[in-house]
Each structure stands twice: as structure tokens, then as C-alpha cells.
A and B are shown apart, each in its own frame.
Chain A
């Protein structure tokens, strides 16, 4: 019976309490913003459409935005707020100015 229960994935049901709900930490740390808003398109491989586009446009040196020290903070801020062709802009309700600063710091880190 034990085997059957774990097989069909029901064993979990023993822990019955509803999970406690975590309030989001705000201002949101840079890494969190990266995961919520950037990584999907700028992950450093062929599944990141931003990475693919930047590589096609500018070559390997400029395909990554994470860890790319040549991108000026002002430029990143402007691209995020105004968008760039295929990339839609983020709004104040997505990410505050203070959180965008944290994100830009995170992007510059290794």
C-alpha cells in the first residue's frame, strides 16, 4: 500500500496544513527582479530570445546583459523604462525606481 501511495504521488497529502503565505519582500532584491522580469528573455543560452537577438545584432561580446560591465546604468534604465523594439517596457508598478537601481547593481555583479 505504501508503495502504491507514493507511486501515485499521494504521499504528500499527509501534510495537510495550508502553506503559510509569504509577503513579498519590498523593495525587491535585484536578483528577484531579474528572475521575475529579465531572466526569461536574457538567460545566457538559446532559450533566451533577448540573448539570441543581441547576439545576432552585436555578436558574442554583447549578447549577455548579466555581468556585462560595458552597459551604462543610464542606458539600462532607459531600455527598461522605454522598451526597445521587441522588448516591452516595465512600469512603476512592476518595479519601482529604487528596485530598478538594485537590479542594475545586480546585473553588474558577476
Chain B
């Protein structure tokens, strides 16, 4: 299979560049020339056709010098590079680049845990460190610190944090909890953010801001630099832990749940990343759709009722946890029972009552920082592997929650898909994640899912809701919705792009930010 190349690169120039890169880092860490191994860098779950977004090559450096050597060659030949860390960004593109033919810069080999400081409770890691790896390390060395993983434990600290990922412990806002980065710019410049720029510092991982502008954010969800180290605060293991579930009987309860949760979150009565989870998201980990419904289209209400009673679930299922000395947790739990537990039809469940429930178990692990893969069970709901996440943000109000829920559910039913969703409740906002699940072996269904996703973006934007991250295929469309003052923000991103990366070699089109030489074809800002 001949590789697709970026349209400005001739096969000769491309192959010269790849040879030079192979010389710099060793032939065994370069994949190219239509090698079938390239296919392991696809997104095999997306709404795009089979082999969309296959890279033309992969280079896997180990160390700053090798990255700098690759950047130099890429600048000379204008080869587009797509950096990945652990490369598990599934539901949003997996390891795949924004466009076919880019060269993936795979940083997975750089997987050293550089420091774990028990006293100050932080870790300093390279990009290839996965949640499982850091967890195992802490366990083996009996270090009483918790990590905060995303639901899939094979993802990693650097990649997930750069994408503004979320977790389930009180440290669930990953970007907020990171402290200090080391970055290589496209021209090879190496620097550290925050206190890290003071040569004698011992404070790189204890103070986020340093002196002068805070640049860390510029390197998240962007294509301005390659992050090569990151500090992450870790939560000290608390003296007690109390996860719980509250089930609710009616769809409309979402409004009151959200209203009651808001003050509990803003006042930090509930300290962790709490989730209001719809029936099917919870059930799909345990049962397949076929066990309850063999027809086409969304599962009917009668079957939903049956699942609710078979598995003792609610239309909505609220998960959170308490931490600390037992007397404190018990007092707080009483507050929870008197508020969230007092909503008519609510039932509060303890860990003991749910100890044989796989969904409760994996959430209970996530809320105490124990990585796992159980949520992948969602993929077994319809089978066929397809999934892509639609993730709009809203304020934590009952009205907004219902409005988003109705909007997405109705559209999703209209297009013949189940609504499978959850609301991650932050301090003041909610990340509403709708997992659009489809059978990827059915072309018509895949295309229908793609169309639905596009409709949802525009409809949400019209109602004032923007996505917090999105799949590769929809980055331009989402970026376009952030259009205040004639796309002023994206125009600024383009100016930064030109300053940091004048040859436009790093992740062109990431988050809808295109370099000058591709702007005419792709950008909408001018």
C-alpha cells in the first residue's frame, strides 16, 4: 500500500527526510514505506472510513537530542509531525494524526518516572508513562500517594493532561493539578516553565507560576511545542474512603440532582470528580443491548425499565466519594443523605451493598485512583467497536443539564442511536460526555453517526454550549464555533503558530489551528 503523502512533499523528498531521521535515531525506531505496522496508528473506532488518517511514517525517538534532530530534519523538508505520548486518545482520535500522511512522533519509549517525592506529594514523568505504570511503581515501592487516572488506565499523565482530561478523585482536574513542564519548540529550543527555569531550584514541582507569564496552557491542546516532562501533584492516601451511589427513578430528576449537587460541589462538601451517569452508560458495562432488545434504533422505554429493575439502577445514577477520618466522612454522609438522598425516589447505596456490581466497583476504584479498563465494557453494548465522544460544557444548573440532555437525546434518537451519557460535575461546570456508539462494520451506520455528530456541534453552539475537546475529524468545526469578535481567538492562535513554528511542521490542524502554508486550503478565519 503506497503511503498518502502531504500534497507539498514529493516521494523523493519524503524518503530523504525519513532516511535522515532513521540515521538520527536508528532504523529500528522508524516505520514507513507502507509497512503494515503503520495501521496500528489508526483510529480504528472513529466515524471516518476504514483507513482514514493512517500516517505515512512513524518515528519514535528517545531523548531530547533525538527529538531535536528530528525537528531539524522536519524543518528542512517541511515534514508534518504529529506528537503522541501514550497514544490512547480513543473516542477523540486515538494515536492517529489530524490528516493522513503526517509522520507520527511517538514518544512512548520515553517512559521514565523521573522522580516521586513523597514529602511534597508529586511525580515528575516523561510522556510515555502510563497510569498503570505509575500506579504499579507506587504500589511496588509502598509509596502512599494516589494517582488520578482517566477511566482507561493505559492512557498517560502527559497526553491526558495536555488534552485537559478529567479523573475521579479530588485531583480530577488534571491540568489544574499539573506543576511544571519541559517543552521543546519546533525550532529545537528547550525550556522549562515556572520555577523550572531557575537553575538551582528545588521548587519546580511545588509552585506552578514561576515569574512572568504562565505559558503552560499554551502547550495544551495546541501545536506550538512538544512536552517532554511534566510534574503532577499526587494526593496523599487519606485515612478513610467512602464511595457511594445514589439512584434516581425519573429522567426529569436530572434537573433537581444538578441543582442540589451545585452547592455541595462549590462548597467542597463533595470533594471529588462526581458523575451523574445515565442508565445505559452504567448498564452497558454489564449487559449488551441484544439481551434486552433485538430491534433497530434506540432501546424502548419498556426495556429500560426492565434493566432498571434487573440491575437496581436509576434513570440517573450519581457517583461520588468522601475521604478523610471516618467521623468526618460519617458527618458529611449525613449531609449527603439529607440533600441528594432526600430527592423523592432516591436510594443511597453503599460499597457493601454494591460489592458484586462491576460498574460500582470500577468507579469506586477510579475515585480512589486505581487504574482499570472496565469502562471499555461500554463498547460491548452494540459491538462493532465504533465510538466517539461529544463533550459540551455547561454551568452546573438543572436547566442547562436538562436542555443539553433533551437536545442530545432527541437528536440521537432521531438518528437511530441510543443516548449513552454522563455529566462530570466539576466545581462550577459540567462536562457532559455523550458516547456515540455504533457498529463500525456497518458503513451506513458509521456515516449516520458522523452526520449526527456534526449536527450536535452546531446545535449545541447555537444554544451557547462549546466542546471541551473533540475528535480529530471535528476539530475545525468546533474551533469555528468559538467565533466571538470575528474569530479573534483563533486568529491569535494563528499568530502564535507562525511565531513558534514558522515552517508549520508541528501537528498542523490540531484544534483547528493551521500553519500559514496550509491556511488557504483549511482555515476559515480570514
Could you tell me which A residues sit within 8 Å of B by CB distance?
Answer: 6-10, 12-13, 15-19, 21-24, 32, 35-37, 40-41, 45-50, 52-53, 56, 81-83, 85-86, 88-94
Contacts of B237 in A (CB 8 A): 9
Q: Which 4 A-B pairs have the closest CB atoms?
A: A40-B373, A49-B377, A93-B108, A46-B358
Q: Are B325 and A47 in contact (CB under 8 A)?
A: no
Contacts of B140 in A (CB 8 A): 22
Tell me how many residue pairs across A and B have CB atoms closer than 8 Å.
133
A83 vs B383: C-alpha distance when bound (angstroms): 14
B253 CB to nearest chain A CB (Å)? 27
Contacts of B87 in A (CB 8 A): 91
With A9-B237, A13-B119, A94-B108 in contact, is A49–B374 under 8 Å at CB? yes
Contacts of A52 in B (CB 8 A): 377, 380
Q: Are A19 and B236 in contact (CB under 8 A)?
A: no
Q: Are A85 and B236 in contact (CB under 8 A)?
A: no
A46 vs B359: C-alpha distance when bound (angstroms): 9
Contacts of A91 in B (CB 8 A): 37, 40-41, 58, 87, 95, 106, 108
A89 vs B37: C-alpha distance when bound (angstroms): 10
Contacts of B128 in A (CB 8 A): 93
Q: Are B40 and A81 in contact (CB under 8 A)?
A: yes
Q: Does B111 contact A (CB under 8 A)?
A: yes
Contacts of A15 in B (CB 8 A): 118-119
With A8-B239, A19-B143, A92-B37 in contact, is A49–B325 under 8 Å at CB? no
- Give 7 A-B contacts (CB < 8 Å), ordered by A residue: A23-B112, A35-B132, A49-B374, A49-B379, A86-B385, A91-B40, A93-B29
16 further A-B pairs in the complex, CB-CB below 8 A; given A19-B117, A19-B141, A89-B44: A8-B239, A9-B237, A9-B239, A22-B137, A24-B133, A36-B132, A41-B376, A49-B373, A50-B376, A56-B288, A86-B376, A86-B383, A88-B90, A88-B94, A90-B40, A91-B106
A60 CB to nearest chain B CB (Å)? 17
With A21-B113, A91-B95 in contact, is A36–B374 under 8 Å at CB? no
A7 vs B324: C-alpha distance when bound (angstroms): 9
Q: Are B109 and A86 in contact (CB under 8 A)?
A: no
Could you tell me which B residues sit within 8 Å of A by CB distance?
Answer: 29, 31, 37, 39-41, 44-45, 58, 60, 87-88, 90, 94-95, 106, 108-109, 111-119, 128, 130, 132-133, 136-137, 140-141, 143-144, 152-154, 236-239, 285-286, 288, 324-325, 358, 361-362, 371-377, 379-380, 383-385, 441
Contacts of A45 in B (CB 8 A): 358
A53 vs B109: C-alpha distance when bound (angstroms): 31
Contacts of B31 in A (CB 8 A): 92
Q: Are B136 and A36 in contact (CB under 8 A)?
A: yes
Minimum CB distance partner of B133 in chain A: A36
A40 vs B88: C-alpha distance when bound (angstroms): 14
Minimum CB distance partner of B324 in chain A: A8
Q: Are A21 and B116 in contact (CB under 8 A)?
A: yes
With A89-B40, A90-B40, A91-B37 in contact, is A49–B285 under 8 Å at CB? yes
Q: Are A47 and B374 in contact (CB under 8 A)?
A: yes
Contacts of A6 in B (CB 8 A): 239
B436 CB to nearest chain A CB (Å)? 15
A17 CB to nearest chain B CB (Å)? 8
Q: Are A48 and B374 in contact (CB under 8 A)?
A: yes
Contacts of A36 in B (CB 8 A): 130, 132-133, 136, 154
Q: Are A85 and B384 in contact (CB under 8 A)?
A: yes
Contacts of B132 in A (CB 8 A): 35-36, 40
Q: Are A85 and B385 in contact (CB under 8 A)?
A: yes
Contacts of A82 in B (CB 8 A): 39-40
A86 vs B438: C-alpha distance when bound (angstroms): 11
Q: Are B325 and A7 in contact (CB under 8 A)?
A: yes
Contacts of A23 in B (CB 8 A): 112
A56 vs B132: C-alpha distance when bound (angstroms): 27
A92 CB to nearest chain B CB (Å)? 7
Contacts of B106 in A (CB 8 A): 91, 93
Q: Are B111 and A9 in contact (CB under 8 A)?
A: no
Contacts of A16 in B (CB 8 A): 118-119
B136 CB to nearest chain A CB (Å)? 6
Q: Could you say which of B41, B117, B140, B154 has the most chain A C-beta atoms within 10 Å of its C-beta?
A: B154
A22 CB to nearest chain B CB (Å)? 7
A92 vs B32: C-alpha distance when bound (angstroms): 13
With A12-B144, A37-B154 in contact, is A49–B118 under 8 Å at CB? no
Q: Are B111 and A24 in contact (CB under 8 A)?
A: yes
Q: Could you say which of B41, B87, B380 has the most chain A C-beta atoms within 10 Å of its C-beta?
A: B380
Contacts of B143 in A (CB 8 A): 19
A7 vs B65: C-alpha distance when bound (angstroms): 47
A8 vs B377: C-alpha distance when bound (angstroms): 36
A86: contacting residue among B39, B95, B112, B379, CB under 8 A: B379
